[in-house]
Amino acid sequence: MRTPPSGLVAISPGDHQRRRDLVPWLAALGVAGLHTVVLREPHLAADAFRALTLAAQDAVPKVIVHGRCRGAAALADVLGLGLHLPGDGDPKAIREAVPGPLGVSCHASVEVENALSAGADYTLLSPVWRPTSKPDDTRPPLGQEAFLRFAAGRPVLALGGVTPEHYRTLLAGGAWGAAVCGALFGVRDPAAAARRLADFLGQYTKSDSS
């Protein structure tokens, strides 16, 4: 059985080789204790995305590639990685070809139910709070209470505006975990990202052992 990611999951910001090199960021976050990263860099050519994926594998224990990236499904198969699908992806159609955990992005509870029923190992659910990486996002946040009422004890990761304080409250309330992008990649440099990760993890580390 494939183990879904838990605890704190980082999502890459989609700017590798545009405004920065993400490899030093991944290295710093890996040393600081990041267990899982979802690589979402759809602008990269297949060779460049493969190179970033290999670098991420050297830095972080668990790597999941996003289905919108070039060659992601084949790369997941060859390297034994997880695959994360956008909301319109069909986990049932691809499940047997993915060796690692299979996830789906969701924005409503019914989408979560459908994805898990179709064979997803986990989902993201957003926005729980207003996203820091998308300041113009006009979707109404779900809120902590509603998220926990629906998702506690299930393989559903909170996404959107998660702070260290939010993260600790979510775990204390029984949440599987949370995913962050801007909170780690929106700071000024890799060292600052590592310090920010330490704020999140503290004594509330929750990660699988696979």
pLDDT tens per residue across span 147-174:
999 999 999 999 999 999 999 999 999 9
Q: Backbone dihedral region of 2: left (phi > 0), alpha (psi from -120 to 50 degrees) or beta?
A: beta
Token match 């979560």: residue?
A: 112
Which residues is 105 bridged to in the sheet?
A: 124
Residue 147 belongs to a domain: yes
Residue 206 belongs to a domain: no
Q: Are 39 and 60 in contact (CB under 8 A)?
A: no
Range of the domain at 89: 7-201
Q: Could you tell me the pTM of the whole model?
A: 0.94
Alpha-carbon separation of residue 64 from 73, 76, 81, 145, 207 (angstroms): 10, 8, 6, 28, 15
Residue 194 belongs to a domain: yes
pLDDT tens per residue across span 112-146:
999 999 999 999 999 999 887 666 777 889 999 99
For residues 38 and 18, give the distance between their C-alpha atoms in angstroms, rounded to a whole number: 18
Q: How many domains does the chain have?
A: 1
Q: Are 148 and 175 in contact (CB under 8 A)?
A: yes
What CATH number is associated with residue 133?
3.20.20.70
pLDDT tens per residue across span 63-102:
999 999 999 999 999 999 999 999 999 999 999 999 999 9
Q: Give 209's pLDDT tier (boundaries 50, 70, 90).
A: very low
Residue 136 belongs to a domain: yes
